[in-house]
């Protein structure tokens, strides 16, 4: 019996030992894999960041394009070598761009916390221009004049970078004065007036209150250092070299004193959108100056002058012409706040050359300039008044083809004192003979067609005409302008126009 008991215990011990050895040979159970989960709270494309309750969406686009008959990307030639209409003008300019957008959202007891960032990396071709001494300079649109044969490095930009929380937006974002389509009511170039355009973002703080049924009201303060001002022009500092480029004096901006203060009321429903906007803008000049004496503290200065802008935008959807068709219309009036009409992607001085039939004249030229205010030494700032409008209609022929037509028009009106000072400078510095009037009109019209053979891949062509309708009549005696290879000669003051076209392929993701 004792022998049997020993045998049973020994067998049991051997079995336990064998089982332990076999268990040691088995693989260790792997930690559960945390697969990416779809986040359906905020629309398509969002997923949860593993290990968190934050949803993220990654998107953007890659674009390649060629602009015909322009030194810019993308607008008509209105100044510089392109507007010279000579051997310095580009027949084409090309650009490639990569855009990356990252959108995160987290549900909290205070509502959704959102962050959004959009960065772009662009390579834009430049152009060659003579420097007046027989040499040539290559100007890269990313890094400026870099010398013949030098290869630029492209341009990195931050278009948006903001935080949204409890109705507030902090950081770099669109302006509440902007229409949802910015300055592209049906596509088009970057030089459409008729409202603001902050598609590249502007530093601001916004608060939006939602009242239901698509009705909202917003207030904001915008940092205007880079995008909110055209010029505060000291006309007493004008020279012949600046006047001949459409710059009527010296931009005499002082330091920042106040951000722009904005308000908006909007109705956004299934039928479309209606939006009303106002903005207040402080014009803060530095010091009085003349061409021979600099802007010293002892010269004195004009007092600040507040300007304003009012605007409205209307979008109509579901119109009878076809599914997805849309009509966009926008208008604006400014008094001392011209950037809300001649928006941030537009130039503020125009010097466009063309032919002439006037005996004794070498060529013709259209000169025009935009400012928020102007003043002369010892005088107060005088505001420049503008108004403008733009609109566009987009029609979808079928799921693959769409076309758009668009137009814009703006007027610039100087006050009595500013007009008198500009005209006196025209006579004294440029030998002007004729009827002087610095006011001008500006118009753009164009059309485009887009082919989308597969989802998120589009090929497009866009053609536009730009016209500068200046109100001067007569001739000037221009100094030599070596930057555009123009000789000293008599030039006729005459309206000018320019055409340009865009060929683009874009893949969204």
3-state secondary structure 152-191: CCCEEEEEEEEEEECCEEEEEECCCCCCCCCCCECECCCC
CA distance 175 to 463: 28
Class of residue 433 by CB neighbours under 10 A (exposed 0-12, middle 13-18, buried 19+)? middle
Q: Please, which contacts does 21-29 make with residues 24 or more away whose CB atoms are closer than 8 Å? A: none
Which runs of E-coded beta strand occur in 346-456? Answer: 349-354, 363-369, 373-375, 382-383, 385-396, 401-413, 433-435, 440-454
Query: What top-level class would CATH report for the domain 35-508?
Result: mainly beta
DSSP state of 481: B
CA distance 249 to 438: 13
Q: What are phi and psi of 115, to 5 degrees?
A: -125, 145
Class of residue 405 by CB neighbours under 10 A (exposed 0-12, middle 13-18, buried 19+)? middle
Query: What local confidence, expressed as pLDDT, does residue 22 receive?
Result: 44
What region, left, alpha or beta, does residue 164 occupy, with left being phi > 0 and alpha being psi -120 to 50 degrees?
beta
Letter string b/e over residues 45-77, b meaning 16 or more CB atoms within 10 A of that residue's CB: ebebeeeeeebbbeebbebebbbebbbbbbbbb
CA distance 501 to 203: 32
Contact 144, 80 (CB under 8 A): no
Query: What local confidence, expressed as pLDDT, does residue 382 receive?
Result: 98
Q: Which residues, listed in sequence order, are joined to residue 280 by a DSSP beta bridge? A: 261, 308
Query: What local confidence, expressed as pLDDT, does residue 154 receive?
Result: 74
CA distance 240 to 150: 32
Contact 210, 400 (CB under 8 A): no
Query: What local confidence, expressed as pLDDT, does residue 483 receive?
Result: 87
Query: What local confidence, expressed as pLDDT, does residue 33 receive?
Result: 53
Q: In what order do the strands lie in the sheet with 232-234?
A: 250-251, 232-234, 373-375, 382-383
The total number of residues shown for the chain amounts to 509
CA distance 141 to 138: 10
Contact 389, 409 (CB under 8 A): yes
Query: What local confidence, expressed as pLDDT, does residue 310 receive?
Result: 98
Q: Which residue has the tokens 């302006």?
A: 175
Domain residue extents for the chain: 35-508
Query: What local confidence, expressed as pLDDT, does residue 12 receive?
Result: 43
Alpha-carbon distance values, 141 to 124, 127, 398 (Å) = 6, 8, 38
Per-residue 3-state assignment (H helix, E strand, C coil) for 258-279: CCEEEEEEEEEECCEEEEEEEE
CA distance 360 to 433: 13
Radius of gyration of the chain from Cα atoms? 31
Helix (H) or strand (E) holding 422, with range, is helix 416-430
The set of residues, in sequence order, having a beta carbon less than 8 Å from that of 301 and lying 6+ positions away, is 254, 285, 286, 287, 288
The set of residues, in sequence order, having a beta carbon less than 8 Å from that of 201 and lying 6+ positions away, is 118, 158, 159, 160, 161, 172, 173, 174
From first to last of the 509 residues of the chain, give the pLDDT tens digit.
444 444 434 444 443 344 444 444 555 555 555 578 999 999 999 999 999 999 999 999 999 999 999 988 888 899 998 999 998 888 999 999 999 999 999 999 999 999 999 999 998 886 655 544 555 555 555 555 444 444 455 788 999 999 999 999 999 999 999 999 999 999 999 999 999 999 999 999 999 999 999 999 999 999 988 788 999 999 999 999 999 999 999 999 999 999 999 999 999 999 999 999 999 999 999 999 876 667 788 889 999 999 999 999 999 998 999 999 999 999 999 999 999 999 999 999 999 999 999 999 999 999 999 999 999 999 999 999 999 999 999 999 999 999 999 999 999 999 999 999 999 999 999 999 999 999 999 999 999 999 999 999 999 999 999 999 999 999 999 999 998 999 999 999 999 999 999 999 999 99
Contact 340, 332 (CB under 8 A): yes
């Amino acid at each position: 019996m004792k022998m049997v008991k020993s045998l049973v215990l020994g067998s049991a011990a051997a079995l336990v030992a064998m089982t332990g050895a076999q268990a040691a040979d088995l693989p260790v159970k792997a930690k559960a894999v945390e697969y990416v989960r779809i986040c359906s709270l905020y629309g398509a494309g969002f997923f949860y960041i593993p290990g968190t309750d934050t949803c993220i969406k990654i998107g953007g686009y890659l674009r390649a394009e060629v602009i015909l008959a322009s030194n810019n990307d993308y607008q008509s030639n209105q100044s510089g070598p392109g507007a010279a209409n000579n051997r310095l003008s580009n027949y084409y300019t090309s650009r490639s761009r990569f855009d990356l957008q990252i959108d995160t959202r987290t549900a909290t007891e205070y509502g959704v916390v959102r962050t959004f960032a959009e960065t772009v990396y662009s390579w834009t071709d430049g152009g060659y221009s003579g420097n007046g001494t027989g040499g040539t300079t290559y100007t890269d649109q990313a890094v400026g004049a870099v010398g013949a044969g030098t290869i630029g490095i492209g341009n990195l930009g931050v278009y948006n970078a903001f935080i949204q929380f409890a109705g507030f937006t902090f950081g770099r974002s669109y302006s509440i004065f902007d229409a949802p389509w910015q300055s592209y009511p049906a596509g088009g170039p970057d030089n459409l007036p008729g409202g603001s355009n902050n598609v590249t973002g502007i530093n601001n703080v916004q608060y939006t209150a939602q009242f239901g049924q698509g009705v909202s009201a917003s207030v904001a303060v915008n940092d205007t250092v880079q995008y909110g001002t055209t010029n505060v022009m000291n006309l007493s500092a004008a020279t012949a070299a600046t006047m001949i480029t459409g710059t009527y004096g010296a931009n005499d901006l002082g330091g920042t004193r106040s951000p722009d203060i904005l308000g908006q009321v909007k109705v956004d429903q299934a039928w479309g959108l209606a939006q009303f906007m106002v903005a207040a803008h402080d014009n803060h000049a530095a010091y009085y100056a003349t061409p021979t004496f600099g802007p010293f503290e002892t010269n004195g200065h004009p007092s600040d002058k507040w300007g304003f802008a009012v605007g409205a935008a209307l979008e109509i959807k579901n119109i009878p012409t076809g599914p997805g068709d849309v009509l966009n219309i926008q208008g604006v009036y400014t008094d001392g706040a011209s950037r809300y009409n001649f928006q941030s992607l537009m130039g503020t001085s125009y010097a466009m050359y063309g032919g002439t039939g006037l005996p004794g004249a070498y060529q013709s030229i259209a000169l025009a300039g935009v400012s928020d205010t102007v003043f002369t030494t010892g005088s107060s700032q005088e505001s420049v008044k503008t108004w403008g409008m733009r609109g566009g209609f987009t029609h979808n022929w079928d799921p693959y083809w769409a076309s758009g037509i668009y137009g814009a028009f703006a007027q610039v009106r100087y006050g009595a004192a500013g007009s008198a000072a500009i005209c006196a400078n025209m006579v004294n510095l440029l030998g002007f003979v004729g009827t002087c009037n610095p006011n001008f009109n500006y118009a753009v019209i164009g059309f485009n067609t887009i082919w989308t053979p597969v989802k998120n891949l589009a090929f497009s062509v866009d053609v536009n005409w730009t016209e500068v309708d200046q109100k001067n009549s007569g001739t000037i005696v221009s100094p030599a302008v070596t930057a555009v290879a123009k000789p000293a000669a008599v030039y006729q003051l005459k309206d000018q126009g320019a055409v340009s076209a865009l060929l683009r392929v874009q893949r969204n993701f």
